[in-house]
Structure 1
Amino acid sequence: MKARCIAACVSLAVAVSPFSALVAQVSPTPPPVRTQHAMVVSIHHLATDAGVEVLKQGGNAVDAAVAVAFALAVVYPVAGNIGGGGFMLIRPGHKHGSKKLGDGKPHFIDYREEAPAAALRDMYLDKDGNVIKGMSTHGYHASGVPGTVAGMAYAEAHFGKLGLKAVMQPAIRLARDGFTASSVELALWQTKVLMDNPEGHRIYQRDGNFYQPGELIKLTDLAATLERISNNPDDFYKGSIADAIAADMAAHNGNITKADLAAYKVKDRVPLEGKYHGYKFMTAPPPSSGGIVLQEVLNILTGYDLKKLGADRSPGQVHIITEAYRRAFMDRADYLGDPDFTTMPLKQMADMKYAKAWRKTIDPAKPTASKDLIRPAGFMPEPPKQTDKHESTQTTHFSVVDADGNAVSNTYTLNFYFGSGVVIKDAGIVMNDEMDDFTSKVGVPNGFGLIQGPNNSIAPYKRPLSAMTPTIVTKSGKVRLVLGSPGGPTIITTVANDMISVLDNGLNIQEAADAPRFHHQYLPDELQVEKKFPAAAADALKASGYVIKRSGEFDEKNPGVWGDSELIAVDPKTGELLGGHDTRKPYGKADGY
């Protein structure tokens, strides 16, 4: 009966409800933005403008990306940052006559936050061994050593053209001269986490006299900090800015010291590479879990012709994709961590024979309960012992392609909105709460419900496991897609959904960005869907045995969405750039020239 239900709904999806009609019923989708030479897509229109400004000055994709990152720290302080960290994926272009970018090879710049020297494995547990609620997410104990400034400075020095001082000018100007914000953005500023911090309450909430739409907002402390960084980025780690951070931390019994800041180093890593249905893709290696989990998912899905299972978001497709998610996230929970501290079976996880073995465990008509899932024998080592049975939505992503075909996919984060809520006194720096991405206690879910293993336990100078998944897709040596999203563990499935929508199902880049999302992360054993996910498909999946969790279902004011796809596609015939800004966030923009 359940199999007949899925089959019937698949047939109905193909015969009656093509995806273009479904999108029109759910939410009108604008056409992609089209440009001839270069494109920037970000969550904030002023940050996009900063990137385009730098491109028009002769900058390349890295120059523009650095400009966007610093601009977002000003105009989108809920996630844009200099007090957090993230990853930048750089893919040099190969247009005839273009100047080679760096050494001409792809690079993955890891500027993820690090645990300070004082960090201990059990630092967030009480005397009885229980997790102390809020300690890893709020206040001065929640922050890792920030990497954003070091990462942007490294990228600019090694791959940029214009220099840090030039590309930071738009951000400095926005902070010094001011900008306006919409009611949607300013509502996010009225968070309690800032009310608990005097400096944050003063700067972003005017001590309770909240900013109103259209008012000019000037962030003078942050402007001065950005000016010092533009003159000498080492000031953040070894100079007066480091002094300010260390002093504020010491005054509140925080963990980060000036020695921790001075010890921070950017890691220039080799991207993971994979293949999917005739395309190649490069993506994030550890300490992001995103890339290897994405690769494992796509390897499993290579054995299916998804279009034959139904239209985009049809129950037939969603079932198979979800079962791939379930299996890859099981491996994530058991094996992944910081590669500088942990040996991980990445080759085994990426093995096509392993994917084939996983495919054999997927029932074509019904889900496998996570508790009953058995890993195929003979491929993976025994996972680390878990004595008990422990990412973030307030991340942001942007994509850039320049006139020479160079591409940047960058995802960076504070973790939750405004991170730890700590704003450094007289410096305007919003600090992250990235320590929550570690395993506070094995088997205890973190702030996003993820179960994480001992490989991700807290240790000095260690980088927490991430789900950030900046990704670039190529075909015949040319860039086809630049992708990424915020959303904690849903980042991985959002990127996979976007790739599948475009490469398998033929959606344009804007339709892919706006398509209703679905997610499964092994535990908890539930299929999460956005509120606007097609009800008929959700009902069919429920009838087949899935536990469906519809986001925001019982709150009519809650839009019930997650993530933020900021995407670029390149037309293979004309070379035209198509930008898809996620309309879930009305203040973002795709633009170029």
Structure 2
Amino acid sequence: MPGRQCQPTTPRACWTGVHRLCRWVEGPSGSGCPGSSAATPRPTAAMAACPGRSCSSPPSPCSEGGMWWPPSSASSCTTASCGLPCRRQPCGSQLTLQDLAKFQPEVVDALEVPLGDYTLYSPPPPAGGAILSFILNVLRGFNFSAESVARPEGRVNMYHHLVETLKFARGQRWRLGDPRSHPKLQNASRDLLEETLAQLIRQQIDGRGDHQLSHYSLADAWGHGTGTSHVSVLGEDGSAVAATSTINTPFGAMVYSPRTGIILNNELLDLCERCPRGSGTTPSPAVNGDRVSGAPGGCWPPVPGERSPSSMVPSILISKAQGSKLVIGGAGGELIISAVAQAIMNKLWLGFDLRAAIAAPILHVNSKGRVEYEPSFSQEVQRGLQDRGQNQTQRPFFLNVVQAVSQEGACVYAVSDLRKGGEAAGY
């Protein structure tokens, strides 16, 4: 980020910017840097400090031309340390280079859920695969088809059941807590895959959409950012990859490596938002029936090493009987699950081709149980849902983007969502 250079004499820390980490510049000892801000920088969540905390004193200068801040001494801040600008730890941060060195990627089995002729494979918590599986499993039981939505009343009925299912799904998001940090959540997330829960939810869906929020166990949900990207790949040998990456919010922590160009994320923001200021906390989640203590009405504080919950759902659907495969995923923060679920519905159950399935306007349910419609969504369906008691609200903008590749026998189809102006590529 921009900063002004002072006359190079004795190193001195000057800092600029309020809502991001500062850039270090050199200044004369005993004098202020021209043009530097006296405002104290506010740390970002990427550095394990929640927004709103302030530092009591200016940070110390870096003493070497190193990369990132030293955890204990200047000697450990070297050019080999990740290629990131050398900074002292922000106020309240506990992150060190040792933390980065200890981090290891984790390889886990995908969730596996039967959906009629297809089997859905998606990532377990803290990713959102369990919620996507839950939504599709509930909707599968209503047997929607191209014929059932051919008439206007049929389309309204289908979307009404979709809206109600999305409400129940939002009420289950507490199950996306990191099971590695909170082992008691392991079985809680597995319950989302069971037909028993799906059948229970179907029985609670009727022709009305004006139930109290408690009917769906809805409460203010944890925050989910929008700095997401997805790619779906199908190889010549039939191997498939669905990969979603995120830096959480646009430009993440607004800190990047000059050497690599990598932008740091601020994923820990979601853990900060899980416990709003003034909310009660419990030491750790304790599952009791279909609830967890503190959820959905309260929260539990983060623990070291915990991974934040995510809406990312890179998925692969396979039908061995039909010789078909669908590789799919999306970008758009909290819109991802709604968008991907509707694209899958359109493709597998409603007879859309892949391009039309992705291009179709979507709806989304927010944490207040209100329906948000993409601008080009059918006005006729909106009126029909309103007649059924569904409350709606305006969303400032939609950032849903779905990318997919499908294989049907010997034919392969690839679609990049027109909303983002991308193009599918192949050979």
TM-score, with length taken from structure 1: 0.52
- Specify the code of the residue in structure 1 equivalent to 2:168: R
Q: What is aligned with 1:592? A: 426
Q: What is aligned with 2:215? A: 373
Q: What is aligned with 2:405? A: 568
Q: What is aligned with 2:106? A: 267
C-alpha deviation, 1:419, in angstroms: 0.7
Give 1:418's match in structure 2, choosing from 238, 251, 262.
251
- Specify the code of the residue in structure 1 equivalent to 2:414: G
- Specify the code of the residue in structure 2 equivalent to 1:576: C
Task: Report the Cα distance in structure 2 between the residues aligned to 1:482 and 1:298, rounded to whole angstroms.
Answer: 16
C-alpha deviation, 1:508, in angstroms: 0.8
Task: Report the Cα distance in structure 1 between the residues aligned to 2:328 and 2:269, rounded to whole angstroms.
Answer: 25
The answer to whether the aligner puts 1:339 opposite 2:179 as a matched pair is yes
C-alpha deviation, 1:455, in angstroms: 6.5
Task: Report the Cα distance in structure 1 between the residues aligned to 2:101 and 2:303, rounded to whole angstroms.
Answer: 18
Tell me the percent identity. 25
Task: Report the Cα distance in structure 1 between the residues aligned to 2:89 and 2:257, rounded to whole angstroms.
Answer: 11
- Structure 2 runs not aligned, ≥5 long: 1-39, 49-66, 68-75, 279-294
C-alpha deviation, 1:549, in angstroms: 2.2
- Structure 1 runs not aligned, ≥5 long: 1-134, 146-224, 226-236, 376-382, 446-450, 553-559
C-alpha deviation, 1:275, in angstroms: 1.1
The answer to whether the aligner puts 1:492 opposite 2:337 as a matched pair is yes
8 Å CA contact 1:144–1:432 kept in 2: the answer is: no
8 Å CA contact 2:167–2:216 kept in 1: the answer is: no
Q: What is aligned with 1:291? A: 129
Judged with a 3 Å threshold, the aligned counterparts in structure 2 of structure 1 residues 327 and 374 are, in CA distance, closer, same or farther, namely closer
- Specify the code of the residue in structure 2 equivalent to 1:506: G
Superposed, 1:383-402 pairs within 5 Å as: 390=222, 391-402=224-235
SS of corresponding position for 1:565: strand
Q: What is aligned with 1:327? A: 168
8 Å CA contact 1:474–1:480 kept in 2: the answer is: yes
- Specify the code of the residue in structure 2 equivalent to 1:465: P
Give the structure with higher Rg (CA).
2
Judged with a 3 Å threshold, the aligned counterparts in structure 2 of structure 1 residues 244 and 252 are, in CA distance, closer, same or farther, namely farther
Task: Report the Cα distance in structure 2 between the residues aligned to 1:251 and 1:144, rounded to whole angstroms.
Answer: 7
SS of corresponding position for 2:208: coil
Root-mean-square deviation over aligned CA pairs: 3.3
Q: What is aligned with 1:132? A: none
SS of corresponding position for 1:403: coil
Judged with a 3 Å threshold, the aligned counterparts in structure 2 of structure 1 residues 389 and 504 are, in CA distance, closer, same or farther, namely closer
8 Å CA contact 1:284–1:469 kept in 2: the answer is: yes
Q: What is aligned with 1:300? A: 138
8 Å CA contact 1:439–1:452 kept in 2: the answer is: no
SS of corresponding position for 1:474: strand
Number of residue-to-residue matches in the alignment? 339
8 Å CA contact 2:131–2:169 kept in 1: the answer is: yes
The answer to whether the aligner puts 1:535 opposite 2:379 as a matched pair is yes
8 Å CA contact 1:485–1:565 kept in 2: the answer is: yes
Q: What is aligned with 2:348? A: 503
Q: What is aligned with 1:577? A: 412
SS of corresponding position for 1:414: strand
Judged with a 3 Å threshold, the aligned counterparts in structure 2 of structure 1 residues 253 and 362 are, in CA distance, closer, same or farther, namely closer
- Specify the code of the residue in structure 2 equivalent to 1:371: L
SS of corresponding position for 2:273: coil
Q: What is aligned with 1:159? A: none
Q: What is aligned with 2:45? A: 142
SS of corresponding position for 1:314: helix
C-alpha deviation, 1:426, in angstroms: 5.4
The answer to whether the aligner puts 1:314 opposite 2:155 as a matched pair is yes
Q: What is aligned with 2:291? A: none
C-alpha deviation, 1:277, in angstroms: 2.3
8 Å CA contact 2:119–2:317 kept in 1: the answer is: yes
Give 2:361's match in structure 1, choosing from 513, 516, 519.
516
**Greater helix share, structure number:** 1
The answer to whether the aligner puts 1:359 opposite 2:202 as a matched pair is yes
Task: Report the Cα distance in structure 1 between the residues aligned to 2:361 and 2:126, rounded to whole angstroms.
Answer: 28
Task: Report the Cα distance in structure 1 between the residues aligned to 2:300 and 2:375, rounded to whole angstroms.
Answer: 32
- Specify the code of the residue in structure 2 equivalent to 1:578: Y
8 Å CA contact 2:324–2:408 kept in 1: the answer is: no
Q: What is aligned with 1:7? A: none
The answer to whether the aligner puts 1:442 opposite 2:285 as a matched pair is no
8 Å CA contact 1:392–1:416 kept in 2: the answer is: yes
8 Å CA contact 2:213–2:368 kept in 1: the answer is: no
C-alpha deviation, 1:139, in angstroms: 6.1
C-alpha deviation, 1:590, in angstroms: 0.4
C-alpha deviation, 1:351, in angstroms: 1.5
1:417-461 C-alpha deviation (Å, 9 max, x unpaired): 11121224555332111112215353679xxxxx96767632211
Give 1:250's match in structure 2, choosing from 70, 79, 89.
89
Judged with a 3 Å threshold, the aligned counterparts in structure 2 of structure 1 residues 492 and 534 are, in CA distance, closer, same or farther, namely same
Task: Report the Cα distance in structure 1 between the residues aligned to 2:353 and 2:363, rounded to whole angstroms.
Answer: 19
- Specify the code of the residue in structure 1 equivalent to 2:348: L
Task: Report the Cα distance in structure 1 between the residues aligned to 2:226 and 2:82, rounded to whole angstroms.
Answer: 30
Task: Report the Cα distance in structure 2 between the residues aligned to 1:500 and 1:444, rounded to whole angstroms.
Answer: 39
Task: Report the Cα distance in structure 1 between the residues aligned to 2:212 and 2:118, rounded to whole angstroms.
Answer: 31
SS of corresponding position for 1:267: coil
C-alpha deviation, 1:258, in angstroms: 0.9
Q: What is aligned with 2:59? A: none
Task: Report the Cα distance in structure 2 between the residues aligned to 1:268 and 1:456, rounded to whole angstroms.
Answer: 26
SS of corresponding position for 2:351: coil
8 Å CA contact 1:272–1:283 kept in 2: the answer is: yes
8 Å CA contact 1:249–1:255 kept in 2: the answer is: no
- Specify the code of the residue in structure 1 equivalent to 2:379: A
Task: Report the Cα distance in structure 2 between the residues aligned to 1:475 and 1:273, rounded to whole angstroms.
Answer: 13
C-alpha deviation, 1:369, in angstroms: 2.6
1:449-489 C-alpha deviation (Å, 9 max, x unpaired): xx967676322111101110000000017551011011222
Task: Report the Cα distance in structure 2 between the residues aligned to 1:432 and 1:373, rounded to whole angstroms.
Answer: 36
The answer to whether the aligner puts 1:458 opposite 2:361 as a matched pair is no
Judged with a 3 Å threshold, the aligned counterparts in structure 2 of structure 1 residues 497 and 441 are, in CA distance, closer, same or farther, namely closer
Q: What is aligned with 1:167? A: none
Judged with a 3 Å threshold, the aligned counterparts in structure 2 of structure 1 residues 468 and 452 are, in CA distance, closer, same or farther, namely farther
8 Å CA contact 1:566–1:582 kept in 2: the answer is: yes
C-alpha deviation, 1:332, in angstroms: 1.2
